[in-house]
Amino acid sequence: MIDLKNISLQFDEKLSAIKSYDVERSELAEEYRKELAKWESIDSSMNERLPLYSGAKLLEEGKLIHPFHYNWKNRHEAMEWVDSVLCGVALGAVDGSQIYSDKNYDMPIAVLQASRIFNRHTEKKEYEQEIEASIITPDEFEKASVYSFGSEYVDARRFSMEYDAITALIKEHEKLCILLDGALILSHINVLNRNIRQIYINAILKLLDDSKKTGNPVIGFIDTTMPRDVTLMMHFLFKLKKSKLQDTHFFSSLQWGERTAAFVCDRDDRRGGESGSVLDNYGSFRNDIAFFYMRLSSGLPARIEFPAWALKDVDKLANIIRAESIIRGNYPDILMRAHDASVIRMSEHDLFYGMLDNFCRAHGIKINKSAKHFHKTISR
């Protein structure tokens, strides 16, 4: 049980440190926004002043902030606009979940599950939902030379499974837009070992290649995001103080539906020495991942990542995401559907391990459980 009394005391003791962080962030955001007020339009020639690993490059010329002019009187009017945007549009979405191998069992077996949704918004209601499950066996952990009871390898295999599901959607349907609950720029993999990192790289490169060949854009939707790509770019362009100010706080004054211009990502996520950024692993797609920020809720703006070749359709893509976020509120409906279909709940976790027990018993396979697990089970 968490020691709430001790935690409360810790909050009181560290109040000044927490407040100073918030104050510093607010002051930096104000300094950057003053520069923003002078920045009336984007000129891509400004990229000539930016070094490698500048955080971002300018892509979409014109206004930095793109307004959203609709102001509906009620939900009925909003849904009429949603219907006008999504009518005839083919959308896909993928999400996944997993059960990690449990140290309470001496046999490492994990479970992966991915769901894929297809919805062509027509009167015929062309809607498809498929779920695929797979297990990772002990020999697969051993072959990958990874810790069997860690999460990294399972997460990477889940990612690869999700991307295989996206590739299948892309190949099965024409004129399709795929929404992915997560980023296309995989900065987190820089800290992983080479074997696991390569699983991610192989999956993302295959996905980007299939997306470009078919002309079906894959859109990464990130609701809570911490990058400093634009603020780092502004540091270089306008000689502002280098800071840890996140882009979302810089753009926190966006109104619902407003978006920023699109940028090309040139993230500096190098980790010292001669290490490169994650984008250095993207081959021909190294300078081909674009993004913009857009407010879709009362919280901070969301980040939307997409292939730079789809810039010509950026207004259409933005409207699709706005419309999807109106249906259920604050978050794209099709991504919520994919999540609901894929999620493995705790009761199903227990059910899986019951199946494993029965399987091993039926086939004479010895499986040992920890004493702690035994006591936890009988105490329920």
* pLDDT over 60 (residue 371): no
pLDDT at 19: 73
* 299 close to 310: Cβ distance less than 8 angstroms: no
Residue 185 has a CB neighbour count (10 Å cut-off) of 21
Confidence of residue 204 (pLDDT cuts 50, 70, 90): very high
Report whether 117 contacts 93 (CB < 8 A). yes
| Domain residue ranges of the chain, discontinuous segments joined by + | 32-344, 350-380
Strand partners, 264: 57, 290
Is 258:294 a contact under the CB 8 Å cutoff? yes
User: What SS3 class is residue 42?
Assistant: strand
> 149: which 2 tokens?
């009871």
Cβ(302)–Cβ(225) below 8 Å: yes
Amino acid at 247: D
Provide mean pLDDT across the span 264-291: 91
- According to the model, what pLDDT value does residue 260 have? 94
Closest CA to 215 of 296, 75, 336, 309: 309
Q: Check residue 378 and give its pLDDT.
A: 45
* pLDDT tens track for 171-202: 888 889 999 999 999 999 988 988 899 999 99
pLDDT digits (tens, 9 = 90+) for 290-334: 999 999 988 899 999 999 999 999 999 999 999 999 998 889 999
Q: In degrees rounded to 5, what are phi and psi of residue 266? A: -135, 55
Give the ranges where 223-301 is alpha helix by DSSP (H).
229-238, 247-250
Residue 89 tokens read as 């549009």
Query: In terms of pLDDT, which residue wins out, 54 or 345?
Result: 54
The per-residue pLDDT for 96 is 93
For 137-236, strand residue ranges (E) read 176-181, 218-222
Q: Cα(378)–Cα(380) distance, rounded to whole angstroms?
A: 6
Report the DSSP pairing between strands 65-66 and 259-260: antiparallel
Confidence of residue 221 (pLDDT cuts 50, 70, 90): very high
Rounded Cα–Cα distance for residues 59 and 260 (Å): 11
- How many other C-beta atoms lie within 10 A of the C-beta of residue 247? 27
Q: Contact 110/102 with Cβ under 8 angstroms?
A: no
Kindly give the pairing relationship between strand 302-307 and strand 263-266: unpaired
Contact 194, 212 (CB under 8 A): no
**What predicted TM-score, i.e. pTM, was given to this entire model?**
0.88
What band does 10 get if pLDDT is binned at 50, 70 and 90? Answer: confident
